[in-house]
Chains A and B, each alone.
Chain A
Amino acid sequence: MISNKRLVLAHFWLAFAVFGLAILLGEWQMFIRSPLHGWLHNPDLYYRSVTAHGTVMGYVFPTLIAMGFGYAITELSLGQALIGRRWAWAGYVMIIVGSVAAVVPVALGLDSVLYTFYPPMIGNAFYYIGVVLVVLGSWIWVALMGINLQAWKRAHPGVAVPLPMFANVAAAYLWGWTAVGAALELLFQILPVALGFSNTINAGLARVLFSWTLHAIVYFWLMPAYIAFYTIVPRAIGGRLYSDTMARISFALFLVFSMPIGIHHLFADPQVGSGFKFIHSVFTAMVTVPTLLTVFTIGASVEIAARLRGGKGVFGWLKALPWDNPQMLALAFSFVMLGFGGAGGLINMSYQLDSTIHNTQWITGHFHLIFGGAVVIMYFAIAYDLWPHLTGRAMRDLGMIRMQLWLWFVGMIVTTFPWHYVGILGMPRRMAYYDYSAPGTSGEAISVIMSTMGGALLVVSAVLFLVILYRNHSASRVEPAPFTFSRAIHEPSSLPLALNGLGLWVGLMIALTITNYAYPIVQLMGLPDARVPAVFVGAK
C-alpha cells in the first residue's frame, strides 16, 4: 500500500512530461539534419536543442523515475510509511527549480555547451547551477533511501531485507557516489570560471572527472529497469523469481563494477595514460557479468511462468507465455534491445576496436538503444504496473498498451540500427547538418532518413503512452488487489551479512574508485601547464 501516492505520482508525471517535451526536440533534431530538411540557417538552434534534450533525458527524466519508483518501493516492500516525506518534497522542488534554471539560459542560446559541458567552452552560470540543484535534489532521495532502510532494519533485526529495497538502495548509493565526479567538475572547475573568478581551466582533468559520472550514470538509469525485471515481471506473468540470491549478487556487482570503468569513454583522449585505459577496459568487461547473470535468472523465471501455465518442450514453453500481457511484451522487447545494445557495447569497451567508432553516430545509436530502448521501455512497464495502485482506477487499455510497446520497440530499432551503420562509415555525431551530396557521405542519406522515420514512430508511441496514463485518471474506480513483488522459488529466510546490506559493496565501489581514478585525477591536478584559457560561448 502506498501512503504517499501524490509524492510518487508527482515524480512520475513530471518525469513523463519532460520526457514528452524532450522527445519532440530529439525528433526535430533528427529531422532538420536529415536530407528531408535544408541546412538550418541558425545551427546554434540545433546545439541548444541537443543541450536541452540531453540534459532532460540524461539528468532530469531518469532521476525522477528512480526517485518516484524508489519512494514507492520503500513503502511497498518495507510496509512502512516513508520517513522524511517533507524532505522528499523539498528534493522534488529543487529538481523543478534546477531544471528551469538550467533550461531557460539554454533556450536563450547562452549555454550551447551540450549536457556533457565540454570545458574550456563555458556558458552562462545558471545552466550549471541548475544542474547542480538537480543533483542536490536527487541526493536528498539517496539519503532518504538509506535512512528508511536503516530504520526498517533496526525494527526487524535478523530479517532479510526485501529484494526490491536492497536493489533500490543499491541504485541510490550508486548514484550518490557516481554523481560526485560531475559535481566536482562543476563546483571546482566550471563554476569558478562561469562566475568570473578564473579564466583558465584544465579541460583534460574535467573530462576525467566527468567520465567518473558518465558511465556509472548509465547503470543508475538502468537500475529501475532491472528492479522491474526481478521484482515485477515474474509476478505479473504468473511466475516465480528463479533465484533471490543471484538477484542480490547482480545488484551488488553493479555497485562494484559501474564505477571504476568510466575511462573507457576516454580511450581516444591524450591526457590519460594507456595503462589506466587498459585497466578500465578490463573492468568494463566485468560489468557485463551482472547483466549476463540477469539474463539467465530472468530467462529461467520466465520459463517457470510458462511451465506453470502448462508449457512443454525445450522451446515449446515459449508459446505458453502470456504474450498479451504488457509486462511480458515489455520484457521481451527490452531483452532484445539489451542484447543488440550490449553486443555493440562490447565493441565500445574494447581498448582497440573503440577507435573505429569512437564519437561517431554509432555511439548515439548505442546509448539510445540501451537507454532509450531497453531501459525506457521498462519505465513504461513500471508505470503501467504501478498506475492502478496510484490512482485507484482500472487500467483497461490493454490493446493500446501493447500497441504503444510495439511502436516503441520497432521505432527504436529503426532509429538506432541505421545510426550504428553510418557510425561505421565514419559519420560524426552532433552536427547540425551534413552535406549528403559529397562523394564521401552520400551513402549515408538513406540511413539517416530511416532513422528519422523511426524517431517519428517513437514520438507517436510516447504520445500514446501519455494518453494511456492520462485516461487512467478518469477510468472506473477499482480496489486493486494489494501490490506484491515477485516471490522467489526459495524465499530467503536468513541471508549472509554481505547480501543483507550494502556496506561491503559500497566499500568495494569506493576502493576501486580510488585504485582506478585517484592517480589520473591527482596527476592532472598537478599539471598547471594544462590549464587553458576558457572560451566563452553565448551571443553577446
Chain B
Amino acid sequence: MAQTFSADSHDTAALSQRIEKRWALLMVSIIGLLVAVMIFTGLHWAMMPPSRVETIDPSTLHLSGEFVESNLGSAVEADGSVTVRVIGQQYSFTPQCLVVPAKTPIRFRVTSADVIHGMLITGTNINSMVEPGYISTFKTEFKQAGDHLMPCHEYCGAGHEAMWANVKVVDKDAFSKMAVNTRRLTCDL
C-alpha cells in the first residue's frame, strides 16, 4: 500500500495541508470560544480573581491600622455591606470563626503576618492567596445560610495541616441582631 503515498506526491501533500489547515482553524475557533466565555463571565458577573494590589508591613499589623486585633472580624458598613478582616499567621486565622450574613455584599480584606498562606471556603468559589506584604481584597456574596470550612491551602510550615478556620453564614436578620451589641463580629469561642 505504500506506493499510494508516492503516486501523486504533490497532490497528497496539498490535500494533507488543506486538512491540517482546517483542523487548525477549528481548534483555534474552539480556543476563541473559550476566551469569549471568559470575557462574558468577566463582564456579566463582574467575576475577577483577587487582584487589587495594595501593600502593608506584616510585622506591624498589630500596632495600628485596620488589622489591629480589635478590628478583625465582620464590620457593618454605612451602606449595609459587610467588611470582613482576617489575618493569616502560623498557624491560625484570626478570627478563627467568621460570621457573615447571607444575601449581603461582602468585602474581604485579608493579609498575612508572617509567611505565605492561602484560604478557601468550602462549597464556594472563594479562594485567595494570603501573602505577607500585600492585602488581598475581594468581593463576594453568600447565597444562603450554612457552615463552611476555611482551610489554609498553601504550605506555611510544620503546623500547616492544623490551620483550619470556620465560616458561619447566618440569615441577614440574625446577623443584624448580633451586630447590635458589638462593632466587630466573630464566632470565636
Contact = CB atoms under 8 A, between A and B. Distances in A.
CB–CB under 8 A between A and B in the complex? yes
Interface of A: 43-44, 46-47, 50, 112, 114, 118, 120-121, 202-204, 207, 240, 242-243, 245-246, 266-274, 277-278, 281-282, 285-286, 288-289, 292-293, 296-297, 300, 307-308, 310, 346, 350-352, 354-356, 358-360, 425-426, 428-434, 438, 440-441, 489-490, 527, 529-533, 535, 537
B162 to A, nearest CB: 8
Given A358-B127, A428-B152, A535-B114, A203 B161 contact: no
Nearest to B26: A292
B1 interface: yes
A292 B49 contact: no
A43 B158 contact: yes
A252 B49 CA distance: 31
B145 to A, nearest CB: 16
Nearest to A205: B133
B64 to A, nearest CB: 15
Contacts of B73: none
Contact of A242 (B2, B16, B148): B16
Given A43-B161, A120-B114, 8 more contacts: A43-B158, A112-B158, A277-B51, A354-B127, A425-B122, A426-B123, A529-B133, A530-B134
Contacts of A351: 38, 42, 47-49
Contacts of A307: 1
A431 B117 CA distance: 13
Contacts of A273: 51, 53
B120 interface: yes
Nearest to B34: A285
Nearest to A527: B55
Interface stretch (B5-13, B95-103, B171-179): B5-13
B106 interface: no
A409 B58 CA distance: 46
A114 B20 CA distance: 43
A433 B159 CA distance: 10
A405 B182 CA distance: 63
B51 A274 contact: yes
Contacts of A432: 160-161
A230 B125 CA distance: 40
Interface residues of B, number: 69
Nearest to A528: B55
B91 to A, nearest CB: 11
Contacts of B38: 278, 281-282, 350-352
A270 B135 contact: yes
A46 B147 CA distance: 30
B55 A529 contact: yes
Interface string B31-65: 10011001001100001111111111111000000
A425 B59 CA distance: 34
8 contacts: A46-B161, A118-B154, A204-B133, A270-B129, A293-B24, A431-B151, A490-B16, A527-B55
B23 A296 contact: yes
Contact of B115 (A118, A350, A425, A530): A118
B131 A204 contact: yes
A359 B120 contact: yes
Contacts of A267: 49
Max count, chain A CB within 10 A of own CB: residue among B24, B137, B147: B24
A506 B96 CA distance: 50
B187 interface: no
Given A351-B49, A355-B49, A359-B153, A282 B35 contact: yes
B35 to A, nearest CB: 6
B129 A47 contact: no
Contacts of A246: 20
Nearest to B111: A270
Contacts of A285: 31, 34-35
Contacts of B27: 288-289, 292-293
Given A268-B128, A289-B27, A434-B161, A360 B51 contact: no
- Which residue, of B50, B53, B118, has the highest number of chain A Cβ atoms within 10 A? B53
A341 to B, nearest CB: 17
